[in-house]
Amino acid sequence: MSASPHRAPGYVEGRPDVVVVGGGFGGVSCVRALRRANANVVLVDRMNHTLFQPLLYQLATGVLDDSAIASPLRQVFARQSNVSVLRASVDGFDVDRRCVLAGDLEIPWDHLVLAAGMKTSYFGNDQWEAMAPGLKTLDDAHRVRGRILEAFEQAEYVRVWGETDEVRPWLTFVVVGGGATGVEVAGAIKQLAVDRLAPEFKDLDVARCRVLLVEGGERLLAAMSTKSSAAAAKTLRSYGVEIRLETRVVDVSPEGVTIEQGGSREFVPARTVVWGAGVAGNALGAHLAEAVGLETDRGGRLEVSGDLTIAGRDDIRVIGDLARVPIGETGATVPGVAQGAIQMGTYAGRAIAARVAGRAPTKKPFRYFDKGSLATVGRGKAVLDMGRLHIAGFLGWLVWAAVHIAFLVNFRSRIAAMGSWAFAYIFQTGVNELITKPAAPRAPLESESEGSST
Amino acid sequence: MSASPHRAPGYVEGRPDVVVVGGGFGGVSCVRALRRANANVVLVDRMNHTLFQPLLYQLATGVLDDSAIASPLRQVFARQSNVSVLRASVDGFDVDRRCVLAGDLEIPWDHLVLAAGMKTSYFGNDQWEAMAPGLKTLDDAHRVRGRILEAFEQAEYVRVWGETDEVRPWLTFVVVGGGATGVEVAGAIKQLAVDRLAPEFKDLDVARCRVLLVEGGERLLAAMSTKSSAAAAKTLRSYGVEIRLETRVVDVSPEGVTIEQGGSREFVPARTVVWGAGVAGNALGAHLAEAVGLETDRGGRLEVSGDLTIAGRDDIRVIGDLARVPIGETGATVPGVAQGAIQMGTYAGRAIAARVAGRAPTKKPFRYFDKGSLATVGRGKAVLDMGRLHIAGFLGWLVWAAVHIAFLVNFRSRIAAMGSWAFAYIFQTGVNELITKPAAPRAPLESESEGSST
């Protein structure tokens, strides 16, 4: 511990300290909403960038490059003079002394905003992670992309080698979870194989690869309308994606996945598994809850009041996926999606700005405005729910593309993404299909400890 | 070992087998020159892509994305029907049975072309590699980029933490080797700091970072004219790069670099070292030499005849950096540059195509045509030698940019690079400055075993 508490770079004596932990949609929106506040704002993140997570699956399937969906936080806030970006891993909170603890640093707060988000959850089977990477970070996406591309190379290698029994498992891809991520990844893998890789593998019919989408519930995209669920399923099936509903994954091994449906089990030999099934709160949510004597819910979220503060502490706000925000008296809560985090970030930032300025913050509690939901189902097709409006197919995709481009954090990202998309769409080619690790003499079946990154 | 030798995918009975080992400039040119040959061509590489190595330093300094300078080999040859791309690590050669050995595979040849290129050499100090990565592969470039960007973050972290003695070593960058790579990297690091990072670090004057370029010889760019050397040195000095000529590196440790000039030693505390000093032949050159009973030269190169075959074997050709090709009776040899490899690849491919077609290959020995040499010195400036013509500055850079764009392997790469360059140039911004590893509580001084990849 340093003797004296850390003062933010750019620190101005006498101004209140606002510490925002987490540079995702929630944290970035909150800091933006504080742009005119007479405060010392510190944005702490263990990564140096903010990430447009809804497009991670495009990175994972070689359609976009990193720089299209990620922006360095320092770059995002280069022109906002009251904020300092600090790249550091937060370990916990000293709520009595009002300090965020990050390694050797103590970062004092007058107002704390926790926006640390979620991590991939394997429902108690963390040993599956090595075989079935999730999709939350750039490294995750590189790992998934490396695995997918490597699987096609390995299929070709074993074919040449004459081990024909090995070809099929290398050409079988199991995607776990029928939410937006699973649907998007499953469609994208099949299209990668059919549109882009098939002409490159001359003697191996990679287009016939098997993509299995496994969902525990009774329909895909459970958060969307039944109409959109049905449209998504129909489109995926037309590509040749196999959909298994009401099916649970009971084991993942380097050789494949064991699934269970209605009491009967089946082993699917598969070398590539992508996990899109679950998320749980970042450990920082639990740390904070413990520090203030509260409990998290089963998903690791903290209950917040209407003003997004936690019980008994008007100096601590939790926003984004980590916040459990009831929607009226319906029993429902705000879903863990980008628009929820953005809206909470803006609300929290404005409330703190008002407090800092000596004004009373709005008495209106936070209210989630559902702008609708979207999911892509392969290139050029999407499903879209906006209130009672349901659009599927190319029109849905146009809306999807427009919304996503508009959302992208800064100007440069927008340009890069538009360029890449337009190119990929017109020429039916990917932007990045590179594997950067040398080939092993034979690919081991053991799980790798290190992702094959780009 | 498999019982029967491998037959290439797309194998046509009765056609000669041509095996090309290595998918760099030489190998790709050779395969292209074989496009009309009635042969079974197999291109073996341990990577799935060909790489435009002269631009690696731009990746390493965040100007370009991977996909701008690398193309998947399968994509490059998707439309050339007589070639099969095989991603595999070659272990050696059975020259009696005429088989390339790659793991479990035996790949038979009627004609073998070895184009495996060079690796970074630490002149017997391989333990320096962990501290001082070279620049030969995409992973190298990711590692260097991660180190450079991380160094600025660490400088800020220790500044905030109050360890002011630690700031300077984190802001000191030592580039070893005053050839094209060293000159380009040194200029690019300084410009990254001044043009792009300075506005993002509000309280740390990153523009004042120290960049030290260490060269053992008496001038930079020894392969170019003295006029170009002087122009490059002048430009680098104007950016604030410190140049140390006739200076050797005698030790590299996690704390810094020890250099020696004229008998006196100096320790330079520096956390970031980039190695651009030396290359040596890939181990496959030595394997082949041993198998056929020849010796490699000090640089690991094999002597080839005027037709690029090796002594006593008209079925084995060595091309590119691995080939030692005398230029007339001058005592000089063809330099290890892209144009040399490309010209040799084309020559070898045509010679094999003639043999395959039953024609006698040209009697003219390979002759290197020196189109000139180029090096960039920061953004928008370059030095250029073409015969007696020497151009420096912006005009040189225009030529440099045109030449490099024209060289880029395929259409898509050209588009991507032009877009990125234009963007980076106009808006003075980088395309990719992302670190994808979470921050450690404190960055260890120990060398990492694993690169911080994109």
Tell whether A358 lies on the interface with B, counting CB pairs under 8 A: no
- Is A450's pLDDT higher than 50? no
| Selection from A18-22, A118-122, B46-50 with the highest mean pLDDT | A18-22
Per-residue pLDDT averaged across A201-210, rounded? Answer: 90
Interface probe for B, chosen from A47, A66, A84, A101 (most Cβ of B below 10 Å), is A66
Which residues in chain B are contacts of A67 at CB distance < 8 A?
A: 65, 431-432, 434
* Model pLDDT, residue B442: 43
Judge whether A157 is closer than 8 Å to chain B, CB to CB: yes
pLDDT at B402 (0 to 100):
79
Cα–Cα distances (Å) from B67 to A428, A432, B176, in that order, read 15, 5, 27
Cβ <8 Å between A138 and B436: yes
Cβ separation B74–A197 shorter than 8 A: yes
pLDDT at B443 over 60: no
A451/chain B closest Cα distance in angstroms: 10
Cβ atoms within 10 A of the Cβ of A293, count?
Answer: 9
Mean pLDDT of B54-82: 86
Give pLDDT, residue B66. Answer: 82
What's the pLDDT at A403? 78
Q: Residue A1 carries which DSSP code? A: -
CA-nearest of B135, B230, B241 to B190 is B241
Mean pLDDT, residues A111-126 taken together: 95
Q: Which two three-digit tokens encode residue B261?
A: 């000039």
Q: B161: pLDDT confidence band, cut at 50, 70 and 90? A: confident
Count of other CB atoms within 10 angstroms of residue B286: 18
**What percent of chain B has a predicted confidence (pLDDT) above 70?**
87
Greatest Cα pair distance, chain B, in angstroms, is 76
- Local confidence band at B72 (pLDDT 50, 70, 90 cut-offs): confident
Distance between CA atoms of B22 and B30, rounded to whole angstroms? 10
Closest CA to A345 of A53, A29, A3, A14: A29
Which B residues in the span 202-231 are in contact with A, Cβ-Cβ below 8 Å?
202-204
Mean pLDDT estimate for chain B:
87
Q: Which of A19, A33, A18 shows the shortest CA–CA distance to A366?
A: A33
Q: For A63, which residue in chain B has the nearest alpha carbon?
A: B67
Q: Token digits for B158?
A: 């220790």
Q: How many residues does chain A have?
A: 454
* Structure tokens belonging to residue B429: 């911004």
pLDDT digits (tens, 9 = 90+) for A345-362: 999 999 999 999 999 888
| From A70, A162, A202, residue closest to B434, measured CB to CB | A70
Listed residue (B206, B208, B205) closest to B149, CA to CA: B206
Tell me what pLDDT residue A415 has: 55
Decide if pLDDT at B39 tops 80: yes
Residue of chain B minimizing CA distance to A5: B161
Which residue in the list B184, B303, B329, B433 is annotated as catalytic?
Answer: B184
Active-site residue identified among A106, A150, A156, A184: A184
Is residue B421 within a helix (H) or strand (E), and if so which, with residue range? helix B411-427
Cβ contacts from A onto B, under 8 A: 194
Question: What mean pLDDT is predicted for residues B108-127?
Answer: 95
| Residue contact A200–B162, C-beta within 8 A | no
Residue A394 dihedral angles phi and psi, to the nearest 5°: -65, -40
CA distance A132 to A122: 9
Query: Using an 8 Å Cβ cutoff, are A100 and A44 in contact?
Result: yes
Least confident of A114-118, A172-176, A192-196, A272-276: A192-196
Sheet containing B92-94, strands listed edge to edge, beginning at the edge strand earlier in sequence: B92-94, B99-102, B105-108
Chain B residues whose beta carbon lies within 8 Å of the beta carbon of residue A88: 157, 439, 441
> Is B418 an interface residue toward A (CB < 8 Å)?
no
Asked if B441's CB is within 8 angstroms of A102's CB, the reply is yes
Task: Check pLDDT > 70 for residue A167.
Answer: yes
- pLDDT at position B447 over 50: no
- Per CB-CB distance under 8 Å, the chain A contacts of B46 are 438-439
Number of helices followed by number of strands (H, E) in chain A: 12, 25
Hey, what's the torsion of the CAs at A315, A320, A323, A328, to 10 degrees?
110
Q: Do A10 and B434 touch (CB under 8 A)?
A: no
Structure tokens at A97: 């002394």
Confidence of residue A423 (pLDDT cuts 50, 70, 90): low
Q: A364-395 b/e with 16+ CB inside 10 Å = b?
A: eebebeeeebbbbbbbebbbbbeeeebbbeee
The rounded mean pLDDT for chain A is 87
Name every chain A residue with its beta carbon within 8 A of the beta carbon of B441: 88-89, 91, 102-104
Q: Kindly tell me if the per-residue pLDDT of A414 is higher than 70.
A: no
Angle at A117 between CA A275 and CA A434, to 5 degrees: 45
pLDDT number for residue B148: 94
**What 8-state DSSP symbol labels residue A66?**
H
CB interface of B with A, residues 53-72, below 8 Å: 65-67, 70, 72
72-91 in chain B: CB under 8 A from chain A: 72, 74-75, 78-79, 81, 84-89, 91
What are the φ and ψ backbone dihedral angles of A12, each rounded to 5 degrees? -115, 120
Which residue, A14, A16, A19, is CA-closest to A106?
Answer: A19
Instruction: Return the DSSP state at B321.
Output: G
Residue A26 is given by DSSP the state H
3-state secondary structure of B200: coil
Q: Largest alpha-carbon pair distance within chain A?
A: 76
pLDDT of residue B157: 86
Distance in angstroms (rounded) separating the CA atoms of residues B343 and B340: 5
Quick one: what percent of chain A has pLDDT higher than 70? 87
In this prediction, residues B138-167 reach a mean pLDDT of 89
Question: Residue B445: which pLDDT band, with cuts at 50, 70 and 90?
Answer: very low
pLDDT at B452: 37
Cβ–Cβ < 8 Å for A90, A101: yes
User: Quick check: A9 and B419 CB within 8 A?
Assistant: no
The residue of chain B with its CA nearest to that of A451 is: B453
Q: List b or e across B404-422, with b for residues whose CB sees 16 or more CB atoms inside 10 angstroms.
A: beebbbeebbbbbbebbbe
Residue A184 annotated in active site: yes
Express each pLDDT in A130-141 by its tens digit: 999 999 999 999
Paired with B42 in beta bridges are B19, B84
**Taking Cα atoms as reference points, which of A203, A162, A440 lies closest to residue B6?**
A162
Q: What is the ipTM of this complex?
A: 0.85
Element (DSSP H or E) covering residue A244: strand A242-244
Q: Examine the pLDDT at A122 and tell me if it is beyond 60.
A: yes
Q: Measured between CB atoms, which of B84, B138, B434 is closest to A434?
A: B138
Interface contact flag, A434 B202, Cβ < 8 Å: no
Question: Would the CB atoms of B434 and A138 count as touching at under 8 Å?
Answer: yes
| Residue B250 Cα, gap to closest chain A Cα (Å) | 31
Specify the DSSP class assigned to residue A380.
T
Q: Looking at the complex, does the CB of residue A49 fall below 8 Å from at least one CB of chain B? A: yes
**Is 0.80 surpassed by the pTM of this model?**
yes
Q: What is the reported pLDDT for A453?
A: 37
Domains annotated for chain A, with CATH where assigned, are 17-46+88-120+280-356 (3.50.50.60), 126-276+379-427 (3.50.50.100)
Asked if A139 and A117 touch (Cβ cutoff 8 Å), the reply is: no
d(CA B183, CA B189): 10
Angle at the Cα of B326 from the Cα atoms of B325 and B329, rounded to 5 degrees: 165
A432 with B66: Cβ contact below 8 A: yes
Indicate whether A150 pLDDT > 80: yes
| pLDDT tens sequence across B386-423 | 888 999 998 888 888 777 777 765 545 555 666 666 66
CA–CA dist B228, A454 (Å, integer): 36
Contacts of A2 in chain B (CB under 8 A): 161-162
Return the residue of A nearest to B441 by Cα.
A103
- Whether B441 and A89 have beta carbons less than 8 Å apart is answered as yes
